[in-house]
Amino acid sequence: MFTLFATRLTADLATVLTKELPVSERLIAGAAAPEFTLKNAEGHDVSLSDFRGRNTVVYFYPAASTPGCTKQACDFRDSLASLQQAGYDVVGISPDPVGKLAAFAAAEGLTFPLLSDEDHAVAEAYAAWGEKKNYGKTYQGLIRSTIVVDPQGRVAVAQYNVRATGHVAKLRRDLNIGQ
């Protein structure tokens, strides 16, 4: 009886030790960017394919009208002309509802598309949704991330866990875009 138990325990332990745990895979340069269609602040559909032929900065932010997200959005707004001149469009994605995005865009004068991903399916496809830790608490949420998609729809740059403050300036340096 003990031998049967020990054999079973050993087999179960071997299964646990060799089984790969599911891990959200981050996008890497060269990978195809996941296609999406989401509602913008005006309630219209916007798809990644709408930007085909241009470089597109797709940035994920946790919540409209919060201090960090406002800082990041305003940094993109203030850099938009030079980004566009260098051939880059900008799209922001958050789990906020369309109405909140419309209020955020109006309050901050944001002229680039803000898209609503309420079920966070797109964030998950881009590995921008996952485990977060804040003040000792662990929970699932949006991971501030930026993915640059090239004109052919492939990932050119993937940055995860970025800081709200200074991120746009760093991204501009990484993309060799001057002021």
74 is catalytic: no
Per-position DSSP letters for 30-83, written without gaps between them: TSBPPP-EEEETTS-EEEGGGGTTSEEEEEE-S-TTSHHHHHHHHHHHHHHHHH
Which structure tokens are listed for 54?
A: 């241009």
Catalytic position from the list 48, 58, 64, 69: 69
Distance CA 123, CA 67 (A): 21
Which positions are catalytic?
Answer: 69
